[in-house]
Amino acid sequence: MVRVDKAFEAFVHSGADFFTGVPDSLLKDICAYITDNAAENKHIIAANEGAAVGIAAGYHMATGKVPVVYMQNSGLGNTVNPLMSLADEKVYGLPVLLMIGWRGEPGTKDEPQHLKQGAVTLDLLDAMQIPYLILDDDESVALRQISAIVEQTGAADKPHAIIIRKGLFGKYELKKKDRNDNPLSREEALKIVVDNLGSDDVVVSTTGKLSRELFEYRETKAQGHERDFLTVGSMGYSSSIALGIALANNRQQVYCLDGDGAFIMHLGALTNIGNAAPANFKHILFNNGAHESVGGQPTLGFAIDVKSIVKACGYKTAITAITRDEIADAMHRLSTGEGPALLEIRVKIQSRDDLGRPTTTPIENKIHFMNHLKK
């Protein structure tokens, strides 16, 4: 086990004192420590992993130092373009150090969406010719590894990577938590939304706890799951999936249940939705201002004007709700109005410790959902 304060000190003392990225469950403890202890101008929680590489590139060019970009291995896909066409030694030669959480490592138990990514993570790095090391769980060894790879990255003027296995870092609880006094939890708000859906409406729900809460509530109500597509991976793409369904199937209302981290990750999707303007597209954003499922690090959910952004992109309606009555009233307006329309529900950071996971496989979910659409 490696203490997060010691790992942070090893990075900083080696000259890698700037951090950016997207929080990950395997990195949540060190990400929380970075959030609490890095100087304000030395840490940026990025919209997505590719953007983090861009931020890191700019920081290096301004300082000559090696920046650290943290991510889950699923985020490697977002980084391929800037790593290959910006940071690579055959282009600009930028020494960016990646710290990657290894979800789905072969031989470990994990969720279906992580298994393929885990199996090919090292192969992807090899294909991109990015040198890497797997951080040792012996702290003294790990600290020497960190110092060595920071030096190697800077000397080589090319990206390098540190791979983090599950359970490697010691526990650390985030202290810098933004004040959030919203009255309802996401799950409480979700139940109001589901209770106000029509029997023919279909749902695309975002990755993370929201889809798990939706699955459990459908179980409680004995409603079945064929109307819901649970986007268990592919963070940030639920609204694009919902757009494709809405354009191809104008007979039903299509509700995208989104989270603030995912919403921000690919804001460009809003321009497609607004321009295509499907009347049956309804977007519901559950905004708690945090990457809750990976440690509670803040998003910019409460710092941006969601309603103005979507209206500028062509949405016909944009509503914010906080209370039960406001949510119920807004759902009535969405169901009877023309889309694309968005309802932002501001919720507190809270979820159940005993929250389960879907008992159906992703393939089963897809088949049941497609069969329902064909009806």
- Domain 186-374 part of CATH 3.40.50.970: yes
Low-confidence ranges of the chain (pLDDT < 50): none
Secondary structure of residue 150 in the 3-state scheme: helix
Residue ranges of the domains in the chain? 4-164, 186-374
CA distance 174 to 172: 7
Report pLDDT for 156: 97
Report pLDDT for 191: 98
Output the CA torsion 185→186→190→193 (10° steps): 80
75-107: per-residue pLDDT in tens? 999 999 999 999 999 999 999 999 999 999 999
The answer to whether the CB of 154 falls within 8 A of the CB of 66 is yes
H or E segment and range at residue 164: strand 160-164
Report pLDDT for 268: 96
Report pLDDT for 133: 98
Question: Are 4-164 and 186-374 in the same CATH fold?
Answer: yes
37 Cβ contact list (under 8 Å, min separation 6): 5, 8
The answer to whether the CB of 35 falls within 8 A of the CB of 27 is no
Report pLDDT for 176: 81
287-299 exposure pattern, b = at least 16 Cβ within 10 A, e = fewer: bbbbbbbbbbbbb
Q: Which fold has domain 4-164?
A: Rossmann fold (3.40.50)
CA distance 368 to 224: 10
Report pLDDT for 194: 97
